[in-house]
Chains A and B, each alone.
Chain A
Amino acid sequence: MPIILLRQMSVGQKGTVAKVTAQGELGRRIRDMGLVPGTPLQIQGRAPLKDPVAIRLRDFTLTLRNNEADYVSVEVDKGA
């Protein structure tokens, strides 16, 4: 299954986190919010100006800026 960046996913698409490449504060924040490899997620929506993006994971909704989403690659589900 293809691995793409979180930014490139479309609204409604599902997948599983494959890799988080952010380091330092951003990396720690991303991990604190539970965005670690193996976590299933779904794109819930985008803000009116297409940025930030809202995702659903672990039963809550998280929003992050597109340039932060660039550090997260996702293995997308088939047919989603």
Chain B
Amino acid sequence: MRKANEYLIALAGNPNCGKTTLFNAITGARQHVGNYPGITVEKKEGFYLFNGLKLRLVDLPGTYSLTAYSMEELVARDFLVHERPQLVINIVDASNLERNLYLTVQLLELGIPVVLALNMVDAAASRGIEIDANELSRRLQVPVIPTVARTGKGKEELLEVTAGAASENHQWHPLHISYGADIDPVLDRMEAEINASAFLIDIYPARWVALKYLEADEQVLDKGKKVNPELSKRLEAIANEVADHLEKTLETYPEAIIADHRYGFISALLKSGVLQKSNKSDRLYLSDQIDQILTSRFFGPLIMLLILYVVYKFTFDYSAYPVGWLESGFSALSGFMESVLPPGLIKSLIVSGIIDGVGGVFSFIPLILFMFFAIAFLEDTGYLARVAYMLDRVFRTFGLHGSSVMAYIVSGGIAGGCAVPGVMATRTLRSPRERLATLLTAPFMNCGAKLPVFAMLIAAFFPAKHAQMMFLLTIVSWMLALLFARLLRWTILRGPSTPFLLELPPYRMPTLKGLLIHTWERTWQYIRKAGTIILALSILFWALMTFPTLPESQKSRFEAERALLLDQVPDDRRNSIQTIPSTTDQSFEEISSLSQRIDAVNRTESQAALRNSYAGRIGTYLEGVSRWCGFEWRTNVALLAGFPAKELIISTLGTAYSLGEASQEEEISLSRRLAEDPDWNRLRAFALIVFIMLYAPCLATVTCIVKEAGALKWGLFSLAFNTAVAFLLAVLIYQGGLLLGLGS
């Protein structure tokens, strides 16, 4: 409930009108981002203290209209009617006033008290557009304050007027517009009926409900049917009657007439002195001149490739330093814990479960920070819209959207990316089906964690062909991602493509403050929401790989073997046997060979423990199926271990082949071991590479898919679907290869 000296203020406006910039300018760091319940639309809230009044500001999603077609519009509309803020600050772009006022008119028709922030008056003036704010205010009957959100100009006056208007405790006064001779009488008739039955008027103004029946608004019609089915039917009949009449006489629809009259109302509003354009506005804007190069047939795609490559390099090269610091920090921490804790389950839980889990969560943070910074920069400059414009033709063929490219590239479309920021990058996509198809297929790309496994297998079975193989794998992952996106859009995500209709906003230099706020709030969301889940599941997987422990009888056998070897070492050397013996020692040779034998016992024990664990048992159990693509229990358990993080595939495979872990040469020795193993061949290696490319995304990615898609089912779907796809293709490759006689 509202406190006496606290006012709820909503910020509404078109995308690209400077709404978020103004919100940041007012609230500064006193804001937080969440989601509207149950959906993925962001909800930003902040507050501002003004003369002892607390203004609680909610930044509504940017919309062009208040219809019920997109999630953003529904959210904005529902917030206004259900939360009933004292006031709406409607931000309009002064350089593009006509279209911006279309939303204003709809807000006024709803009746909610409005203060108009006439934003970017500086940009408008430079284009030769002059607006008489006082006259506009007089005609609209709402306060109009000229502002420049980027510099903070007009902010104080806007807040003063807002606080004043909010404290007057306004009633809602819906604006009535004339919709012409065909609509107005019908509207009157419907309004009378609605008022007579008090139909929905606890939520909406009566005339507005009538208007929504004429516009065939799904949400209002649904609500109406529940509240009063009989009246709802009658209103629908009236609306249909008008629609039929209009179609017969004018070949048009009520919706179209209503929109025409709204724009007519706006033109009349701006006529005779309110809006004046000098000849300057006929000149090519600077933005258009830039676009003549940046979106041209030849240079456009070339420059785009270059820019996307730079974004990629920026994200992954520069984040490599903080990622490295974090990694060495965490490995120092586990080294320390390793040395102070007594051996046993607690140590294993802390080192392999908790520290590795937390390290796994943190290692993504620099990546996410850099990626969101780069994307925020492209988005705020206006270039991202151009990318979508140029690439839409290609991606639409696969049922996607021009903006899908960003998610693919960040996920590893240029090998070495990461699907976690990639999945989060789909936020720039506004079309729900295209967005889901993109985020479900982006994990097929070759992320940085898959690369060492590929490198190891390529070194073993395709030596001297590293570059060619990596190129081939990149092409294969793009083809499969696009192909499966198409498949998803034909099946479970079937439906017509969402209308494209994209505005190309004028190029602008983003403010550093805006970029930093944008970047930080998203990263914080990841830490808060995804972090905890990833940590919990990492510990679960540690348990799978650890329990049940070896039975005592086996443990004591390994212990006895070790003791036997240790007995042969002179007393004074026993403690240092694990460390490198000094070369000055006379019995160096002998001790070093004993040390190696003890090591071998340790490795055999690790292997036996792994095989005995739940994960090992699952891996062994799955052999019956995995034999189809040539995998035995060692590969299975490594793939299972790769689910919390794909980095673990190599070390687990090392343990399974009793090569021990944590050695720098592990990759090389494992590679040699596999190359010499008669069970392994090129075909099996290739089937494994393809399987790893496609199978279940890592834990962190799945968590992000659940968050971004807004439902657990999509996370589970990606687990099952990707693994099924990987299995089918690996079987196809392996069995097909065997038939062709390649399996030797």
Contact B263 A36 (CB under 8 A): yes
Contact of B499 among A25, A37, A44 (CB under 8 A): A25
Note all chain B residues with C-beta closer than 8 A to A60: 96, 99, 503-505
Contact B256 A34 (CB under 8 A): no
Interface flags, B498-535, vs A, CB<8A=1, else 0: 11111111000000000000000000000000000000
Q: Quote the shortest CB–CB distance from B390 to chain A (angstroms).
A: 5
Is residue B393 within 8 Å, beta carbon to beta carbon, of the partner chain?
yes
Contact B96 A33 (CB under 8 A): no
Note all chain B residues with C-beta closer than 8 A to A13: none
Number of interface residues of B (CB under 8 A): 43
Main secondary structure of the interface of B (DSSP, over half): helix
Q: Quote the shortest CB–CB distance from B351 to chain A (angstroms).
A: 53
Which residue from chain A places its CB closest to the CB of B281 in the assembled complex? A59
Q: Quote the shortest CB–CB distance from A19 to chain B (angstroms).
A: 8
Interface flags, B450-484, vs A, CB<8A=1, else 0: 00000000000000000000000000000000000
Is residue A79 within 8 Å, beta carbon to beta carbon, of the partner chain?
no
Contact B389 A62 (CB under 8 A): no
Contact A48 B297 (CB under 8 A): yes
Note all chain B residues with C-beta closer than 8 A to A31: 255-256, 259
Q: Quote the shortest CB–CB distance from B394 to chain A (angstroms).
A: 7
Interface flags, B93-111, vs A, CB<8A=1, else 0: 0011111001000000000
Bound state CA distance, A27 and B69, in angstroms?
11
Bound state CA distance, A50 and B389, in angstroms?
10
Contact A45 B499 (CB under 8 A): no
Contact of B390 among A29, A30, A48, A59 (CB under 8 A): A48
Contact B96 A58 (CB under 8 A): yes
List residues of B (285-334) whose CB comes within 8 Å of A's CBs.
287-288, 291-292, 295-298, 300-301
Note all chain B residues with C-beta closer than 8 A to A32: 64-65, 67, 102, 259
Is residue A51 within 8 Å, beta carbon to beta carbon, of the partner chain?
yes
Contact A59 B393 (CB under 8 A): no
Q: Quote the shortest CB–CB distance from A56 to chain B (angstroms).
A: 8
Q: Quote the shortest CB–CB distance from A59 to chain B (angstroms).
A: 5
Contact B501 A62 (CB under 8 A): yes
Give the interface centre of A25, A44, A47 by most chain B CB atoms within 10 Å. A47
Contact A58 B504 (CB under 8 A): no
Contact A61 B504 (CB under 8 A): yes
Contact A58 B99 (CB under 8 A): yes
Contact A65 B503 (CB under 8 A): no
Contact A36 B500 (CB under 8 A): no
Contact of A47 among B102, B256, B295, B501 (CB under 8 A): B295
Bound state CA distance, A56 and B256, in angstroms?
21
Is residue B212 within 8 Å, beta carbon to beta carbon, of the partner chain?
no
Q: Quote the shortest CB–CB distance from B122 to chain A (angstroms).
A: 15
Q: Quote the shortest CB–CB distance from A51 to chain B (angstroms).
A: 5
Contact A45 B292 (CB under 8 A): yes
Is residue B396 within 8 Å, beta carbon to beta carbon, of the partner chain?
yes
Contact of B501 among A33, A51, A59 (CB under 8 A): A33
Contact B504 A62 (CB under 8 A): yes
Is residue B362 within 8 Å, beta carbon to beta carbon, of the partner chain?
no
Bound state CA distance, A33 and B102, in angstroms?
9
**How many contacts A-B (CB < 8 Å)?**
119
Contact A28 B255 (CB under 8 A): yes
Bound state CA distance, A68 and B99, in angstroms?
19
* A25-B499, A47-B393 given; A36·B504 CB < 8 A: no
Contact B253 A27 (CB under 8 A): yes
Interface flags, B256-296, vs A, CB<8A=1, else 0: 10011001000000000000000001000001100110011
Note all chain B residues with C-beta closer than 8 A to A59: 95-99, 127, 129, 281
Note all chain B residues with C-beta closer than 8 A to A34: 98-99, 102, 263
* A31-B255, A34-B102, A51-B392 given; A62·B503 CB < 8 A: yes
Interface flags, A3-39, vs B, CB<8A=1, else 0: 0000000000000000010010111111111101111
Is residue A1 within 8 Å, beta carbon to beta carbon, of the partner chain?
no
Contact of B260 among A29, A37, A61 (CB under 8 A): A37
Note all chain A residues with C-beta closer than 8 A to B498: 25
Which residue from chain A places its CB closest to the CB of B73 in the assembled complex? A32
Contact A65 B301 (CB under 8 A): no
Bound state CA distance, A27 and B216, in angstroms?
13
Note all chain A residues with C-beta closer than 8 A to B499: 25-26, 29-30, 64, 68
Bound state CA distance, A5 and B618, in angstroms?
63
Bound state CA distance, A61 and B464, in angstroms?
51
* A27-B253, A49-B393 given; A33·B500 CB < 8 A: no
Note all chain B residues with C-beta closer than 8 A to A68: 499-501
Which residue from chain B places its CB closest to the CB of A56 in the assembled complex? B288
Which residue from chain B places its CB closest to the CB of A66 in the assembled complex? B393
Contact B288 A44 (CB under 8 A): yes
Contact of B396 among A26, A38, A65 (CB under 8 A): A65
Bound state CA distance, A37 and B392, in angstroms?
27
Give the interface centre of A27, A31, A49 by most chain B CB atoms within 10 Å. A31
Q: Quote the shortest CB–CB distance from A30 to chain B (angstroms).
A: 7
Q: Quote the shortest CB–CB distance from A65 to chain B (angstroms).
A: 5
Interface flags, B67-99, vs A, CB<8A=1, else 0: 101000000000000000000000000011111
Note all chain A residues with C-beta closer than 8 A to B301: 48
Contact B500 A65 (CB under 8 A): yes
Bound state CA distance, A51 and B389, in angstroms?
8
Bound state CA distance, A64 and B500, in angstroms?
6
Note all chain A residues with C-beta closer than 8 A to B396: 65
Bound state CA distance, A51 and B498, in angstroms?
16
Q: Quote the shortest CB–CB distance from A20 to chain B (angstroms).
A: 7
Contact B253 A23 (CB under 8 A): yes
Bound state CA distance, A54 and B502, in angstroms?
9
Bound state CA distance, A25 and B501, in angstroms?
11
Note all chain B residues with C-beta closer than 8 A to A28: 65, 67, 69, 255, 259
Q: Quote the shortest CB–CB distance from A54 to chain B (angstroms).
A: 6
List residues of B (382-403) whose CB comes within 8 Å of A's CBs.
389-390, 392-394, 396
Note all chain B residues with C-beta closer than 8 A to A45: 291-292, 295
Note all chain B residues with C-beta closer than 8 A to A44: 288, 291
Contact A63 B501 (CB under 8 A): yes
Q: Quote the shortest CB–CB distance from A17 to chain B (angstroms).
A: 10
Bound state CA distance, A3 and B183, in angstroms?
28
Given contacts A33-B64, A54-B504, A63-B502, 7 further A-B contacts (CB under 8 A): A31-B259, A48-B390, A60-B99, A60-B505, A61-B287, A63-B500, A63-B504
8 cross-chain pairs, A with B, having the tightest CB-CB distances, nearest first:
A31-B259, A49-B393, A32-B65, A61-B504, A34-B99, A32-B64, A29-B499, A58-B98
Q: Can you sample 23 A-B contacts with CB below 8 Å?
A: A25-B498, A25-B499, A26-B499, A28-B67, A28-B259, A29-B69, A36-B260, A38-B260, A44-B291, A47-B393, A48-B297, A48-B301, A52-B393, A54-B291, A54-B295, A54-B504, A59-B95, A59-B281, A60-B96, A60-B504, A61-B288, A62-B502, A63-B500
Interface residues of A (CB under 8 A from B): 20, 23, 25-34, 36-39, 44-45, 47-52, 54, 56, 58-65, 68
